Amino acid sequence: MGRSEAARIAIRQCGGCEIISTDSKVPGPLVWEEADAELVAKAQAGDVGAFGELVCRYSRTVYGVVSRMAGNPDDVDDIAQEVFVRAYRSIGSFRGDAEFSTWVYRIAVNTTIKLMKKIKSGQAGSIDDPAVGLSDALVSSESQQPDRIVERKARNEALRKAVDGLPEKHRTVVVLHYFENLACDEIAKVLGCSVGTIWSRLHYACKKLQTSLGCEP
């Protein structure tokens, strides 16, 4: 059995259920019995079950990143599964220089970008997440007066389209910062660039979004 097939088995059978799926409900324990590093070491030694546990832990994280970057629901499941297949293929090269979560984020971002260039899909993922504060961050306090507030659903739709129109590198930092709640230093580790570069990209992206949405700075 090849490594790709082993990864797919781990993905499909973890906990006895499909976990990379739009309909999946993945319960996560509040306290993990084993640390990520321990599971990584086992996976590197060929333990498919240990890798399956890592998939269980990070499936929602990966799915969130992919769905917001890719957009087309028909593509998300396949891309998310491919992220873990690539992670399994590369698990031997993981040396622990960064957190495993950072390493997974990096693979998720890079895989989505590469595959979406081939797929040529349209819309970016859901921007209707109630936990997301991007739309409010783009609007000044003065422009949030009652007579200037647009209906939330319409504003979120406009925001989705505006995010979709950002250059790829700027859209990526917006997704990671505002939708995945990563700090700038964490994003810098994921993307392999300086914190200053992340700040610059976020600043550009927000200015661009303000312009697109007609918000006052």
Q: Is the pLDDT of residue 18 over 80?
A: no
Give residue 1's pLDDT. 55
* Same domain? 87 vs 146: no
Question: Minimum mean pLDDT among 59-63, 105-109, 153-157: which range?
Answer: 153-157
Give the end of a domain, one of 57, 92, 119: 119
Give the end of a domain, one of 119, 153, 168: 119
Give the tens place of pLDDT for each residue, 176-213.
Answer: 998 888 999 999 999 999 999 999 999 999 888 888 87
* Same domain? 138 vs 178: yes
124 — pLDDT class (breaks 50, 70, 90): very low
Asked if residue 127 belongs to a domain, the reply is no
* Same domain? 88 vs 141: no
Distance of alpha carbon 77 from alpha carbon 88, whole angstroms: 17
* Same domain? 102 vs 11: yes
Mean pLDDT of the chain: 75
| Number of domain units in the chain | 2
Give residue 216's pLDDT. 57
Question: Minimum mean pLDDT among 13-17, 89-93, 97-101, 144-148: which range?
Answer: 13-17
* Same domain? 36 vs 111: yes
Residue-range definition of the domain harbouring residue 29: 3-119
* Same domain? 98 vs 186: no
* Same domain? 77 vs 13: yes
Give the tens place of pLDDT for each residue, 31-41.
Answer: 456 788 999 99
Please report, for residues 46, 139, 150, 162, 171, the alpha-carbon distance to residue 214 in angstroms, rounded to integers and kept in the order given: 54, 9, 12, 11, 18
Give residue 105's pLDDT. 93
Give the tens place of pLDDT for each residue, 59-75.
Answer: 999 998 998 887 677 78
150 DSSP assignment: P
* Same domain? 14 vs 106: yes
Give residue 16's pLDDT. 37
Asked if residue 10 belongs to a domain, the reply is yes
Give the tens place of pLDDT for each residue, 161-182.
Answer: 788 888 889 999 998 998 888 9
Asked if residue 48 belongs to a domain, the reply is yes
End-to-end CA distance of the chain: 57
Give the end of a domain, one of 119, 142, 157: 119
* Same domain? 62 vs 145: no
Tokens read off for 184: 């700038």
Asked if residue 191 belongs to a domain, the reply is yes
Give residue 23's pLDDT. 40
* Same domain? 23 vs 107: yes
* Same domain? 110 vs 9: yes
* Same domain? 35 vs 139: no
Distance of alpha carbon 164 from alpha carbon 214, whole angstroms: 16
Give residue 73's pLDDT. 77
**CATH value at residue 191:** 1.10.10.10
